[in-house]
């Protein structure tokens, strides 16, 4: 059985449809991913997206019986079985750090999103994984205005969960260029405010160079201005997670993209900290 690393982490590793393991260097342990978007469909097309054959669309109908079966089976394998031995996971990383709803597309596009959040929360609580491990939703945040998403966020909070809300740009042009999203800055700000009011929320921002140019000044300034504005409005963002591209994009723009250096990332992190935010940097 191959060693489980941060590079082979999709469901094919354990042969399940919805559940996949990731050994996270950053977290120092096992992150259990749940992929709602088995059809590789997202309502955005970020130019750095690593999803192969990404298509525009929503998550397909969920097979809840299968999701429950897979999660119970996988957790039993980790908690009582020989999962760590089979995948030669380093002894110091044999701990479940989180269960993350993080799919090959936008998970909140699932029709029964709240039901899925509840099911995962119920099983993980029953098996004693929560509240010790974190429950995380990784989302582009574009659908928070929908009632079914808000219902899911409330449930996520009830299990002690948190949202990682994507914010790569604070300008309309930047959102169009990086995320291929036509959503207005006003609408995404409203969604962010709503999200923070429903569930603890962190911002996740991918910084990258395009055509050998780093983060443009106008983008950086607009981003800082937005974060300042959020503070002034009393919006509580738990942390800002800065990261850059670590694996190749599967999008046509791949060859035009480059990661930012750790030095640049740290410089931007310092500027964000000056606004009173807690910031983490993942190179
Ligand atoms: S929001 Fe996520 S899944 Fe969707 S295109 Fe962007 S990076 Fe890919």
Per the DSSP assignment, residues forming a β-bridge with 202 are 164
pLDDT the model gives residue 9? 47
Residue to probe by mutation, ligand 1, list 48, 49, 104, most atoms within 8 Å of CB: 49
Task: Measure the CA dihedral 114/115/117/118, to 10°.
Answer: 120
> How far away, in angstroms, is 47 Cα from ligand 1 center?
9
Residue to probe by mutation, ligand 1, list 41, 46, 48, most atoms within 8 Å of CB: 46
pLDDT tens digits, one per residue of 13-55: 789 999 999 988 777 899 999 999 999 999 999 999 999 999 9
Residue nearest ligand 1's atom 6 by CA: 46
Report the residue count for the chain: 283
pLDDT the model gives residue 3? 57
Any idea which residue has 């055509």 for tokens?
A: 211
pLDDT the model gives residue 14? 85
Q: Which residues of the chain have pLDDT under 70?
A: 1-12
pTM, entire model: 0.95
CB atoms within 10 A of CB 32: 22
CB atoms within 10 A of CB 46: 21
Domains of the chain: 11-202 (3.20.20.70)
Distance (Å, whole) CA 217 – CA 208: 13
> How far away, in angstroms, is 52 Cα from ligand 1 center?
11
Distant-in-sequence, close-in-space partners of 160: CB < 8 Å, separation ≥ 6: 130, 131, 134, 135
């Amino acid at each position: 059985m191959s060693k489980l690393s941060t590079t082979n982490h999709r469901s094919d590793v354990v042969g399940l449809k919805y559940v996949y393991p990731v050994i996270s260097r950053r977290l120092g342990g096992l992150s259990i991913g749940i992929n709602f978007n088995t059809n590789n469909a997202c309502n955005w097309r970020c130019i750095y997206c690593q999803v192969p054959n990404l298509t525009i669309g929503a998550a397909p109908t969920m097979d809840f019986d299968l999701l429950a079966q897979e999660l119970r089976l996988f957790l039993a394998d980790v908690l009582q079985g020989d999962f760590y031995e089979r995948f030669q996971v380093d002894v110091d990383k044999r701990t479940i750090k989180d269960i993350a709803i993080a799919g090959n597309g936008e998970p909140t596009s699932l029709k029964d999103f709240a039901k899925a959040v509840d099911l995962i929360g119920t099983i993980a609580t029953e098996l004693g994984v929560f509240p010790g491990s974190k429950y995380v939703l990784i989302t582009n945040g574009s659908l928070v205005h929908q009632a079914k998403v808000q219902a899911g966020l409330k449930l996520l909070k009830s299990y002690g969960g948190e949202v990682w809300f994507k914010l790569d740009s604070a300008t309309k042009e930047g959102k169009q260029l990086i995320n291929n999203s036509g959503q207005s800055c006003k609408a995404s700000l409203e969604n962010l405010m709503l999200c923070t009011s429903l569930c603890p929320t962190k911002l996740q921002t991918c910084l990258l160079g395009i055509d050998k140019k780093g983060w443009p000044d106008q983008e950086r300034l607009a981003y800082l201005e937005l974060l300042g504005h959020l503070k002034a409005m009393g919006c509580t963002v738990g942390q800002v997670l800065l990261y850059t591209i670590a694996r190749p994009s599967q999008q046509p723009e791949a060859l035009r993209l480059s990661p930012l250096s750790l030095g640049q990332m740290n410089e931007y992190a310092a500027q964000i900290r000056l606004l009173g935010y807690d910031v983490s940097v993942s190179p």
